[in-house]
Amino acid sequence: MNVFESFRIAFDMLRLHKLRAFLTMLGVIIGVMSVTLISMISNGFQFYIKNEFQKLGSDTIFMFYDGGSDRVDRNSQIEGMENSDLALLMSQATTLDIVSAIFQVGNQKASYLDRSMKDASVQGVDQYYAELNRLGAQEGRQLTEEDSINRANVCVIGEDVANKLFPGENALGKMITFPGITLEVVGISESVEMMGRSTKKDIYVPLTTAQDKWIGGNQISYLMTRPKPGISVNAAMDDAWRVLMQKSGGKRVYRLDSRESIMNVFGGILGGAGAVLAGIAALSLLVGGIGIMNIMLVSVTERTREVGLRKAVGAKRGSIMIQFLVEAVMLSIVGGFIGMGVAFVFGQLISFGTAQAKIPSEGGLQMIFPLGAAITSTTISAIIGVIFGLYPAARASSLSPIEALRTE
Q: Give 174-215 pLDDT, tens digit per residue.
A: 999 998 899 999 999 998 876 667 889 999 999 999 999 887
Q: Are residues 116 and 222 located together in one domain of the fold? A: yes
- Across all residues in the chain, what is the average pLDDT? 83
Give the pLDDT of residue 232.
92
One domain, residues 381 and 328? yes
Residues 122 and 222 in one domain: yes
C-alpha to C-alpha distance for 213 and 196, rounded to whole angstroms: 30
Q: Which of 63-72, 176-185, 367-376 has the lowest mean pLDDT?
A: 63-72
Same domain, 177 and 309: no
Residue 65 within a domain: no
Crossing angle, helix 233-248 and helix 83-92, to 10 degrees? Answer: 120
pTM, two decimals, is: 0.68
User: Do the domain assignments include residue 389?
Assistant: yes
Model confidence over 287-318: pLDDT tens digits? Answer: 777 787 877 777 777 767 776 777 777 767 77
Q: Are 86 and 101 in contact (CB under 8 A)?
A: yes
pLDDT score recorded for residue 121: 92
Q: Are 270 and 381 in a shared domain? A: yes
Decide if 313 is inside a domain: yes
Q: Are residues 304 and 359 in the same domain?
A: yes
Domain for residue 59, yes or no?
A: no
pLDDT number for residue 73? 52
- Is the residue at 374 inside a domain? yes
Digit-coded pLDDT (tens) for 85-94 = 999 999 999 9
Tally of domains in the chain: 2
Alpha-carbon span 168 to 349, nearest angstrom: 38
The residues pairing with 183 across neighbouring beta strands, listed in sequence order, are 176
Residue 57 · residue 132 · CB < 8 Å: yes
Tell me what percent of the residues of the chain surpass a pLDDT of 70. 91
Which of 266 and 399 is assigned the larger pLDDT?
266
Average pLDDT of the residues in 230-250: 91
Q: What's the average model confidence in pLDDT over 13-32?
A: 81
pLDDT greater at residue 355 or residue 203: 203
Model confidence at 237, in pLDDT bands (50, 70, 90)? very high
**Interval 45-67 mean pLDDT:** 81
pLDDT band at 371 (very low <50, low <70, confident <90, very high): confident
Structure confidence at residue 225 (pLDDT): 94
- Please tell me whether residues 135 and 192 are part of one structural domain: yes
Is 17 or 86 the better-scoring residue by pLDDT?
Answer: 86
What is the average pLDDT across 225-235?
A: 92
Residues 292 and 388 in one domain: yes
Indicate whether 335 belongs to any domain.
yes
Is residue 204 within 8 A of residue 156, CB to CB? The reply is: yes
Does 130 share its domain with 32?
Answer: no
Parallel, antiparallel, or unpaired for β 115-125 and 202-206? Answer: parallel
CA-based end-to-end distance of the chain = 31
pLDDT band at residue 238 under the 50/70/90 scheme: very high
Query: Quick check: 1 pLDDT over 50?
Result: no
Q: CA 121 from chain center: how many Å?
A: 28
In a domain, 257, yes or no: no
Residue 84 lies in a domain: no
Q: How would you class 311 by CB atoms within 10 Å of its CB: exposed for 0-12, middle for 13-18, buried for 19 or more? A: buried
Residue 406 burial (CB < 10 Å; 0-12/13-18/19+)? exposed
Range(s) of the domain holding residue 224: 97-229
Flag whether pLDDT at 133 surpasses 60.
Answer: yes
Q: Nearest to residue 179, comparing CAs of 237, 241, 120?
A: 120
Strands 96-112 and 115-125: antiparallel
Phi, psi of 256 (to 5 degrees): -115, 145
Inform me whether the pLDDT recorded for 165 exceeds 80: yes
pLDDT for the residue 17: 77
If asked whether residues 225 and 269 sit together in one domain, one would say no
Tell me: do 159 and 273 sit in the same domain. no
The reply to whether 219 and 320 lie within a common domain is no
